[in-house]
Amino acid sequence: MPTDPPTSQNFVIRQAEPTDALAIHELLMELAEFEKIADQVEATPTSTRLALFGDAPSAEALVVEIDGSTVGTAVFFHNYSTFVGRRGLYLEDIYIKPSCRGAGIGRAMLVELARLAKERDCGRMEWTVLDWNSDAIRFYEEKVGAQLLTDWRLVRLGATGIAKLASG
């Protein structure tokens, strides 16, 4: 029998710690399944731990806990805008277990990220959303007040493309 989503009073959002690395990785693998890209995942529990907590971390994370169980994460890093003239906060991934959605956890995580961005004097906060994820798009526009940029396209080189371009 399905349970009701948690209420806003019984979850905790906190900065991730090294002991959270495996739970974060597992949540990100659930996200990859949802996004239909699990077959493209190269990350391992070790690479996730090193990216977040190694000698030269490339990202940070927040986690959401309910009764000591990790039910969500947000992985982010800083980028830089030459036009704004300041760094920004880039949200790489946010994921809440489906059974825990609808209780304000996602919005609370975005509020916490906005607080961090403000505290760190970021000029903007950005992330991407899949064009078929209408629930997320509606949430970002209606509940968060985010602006979807329709005139920009994501450009990407994978490892093979980087190697090819680097070779001249």
Please list the active-site residues: 140
- Residue whose C-alpha is closest to residue 93's, from 132, 138, 61, 52: 61
- Residue whose C-alpha is closest to residue 124's, from 158, 147, 90, 101: 90
Pairing type for strands 125-127 and 86-96 reads: parallel
Distance CA(95)–CA(93), nearest Å, equals 7
Distance CA(59)–CA(76), nearest Å, equals 6
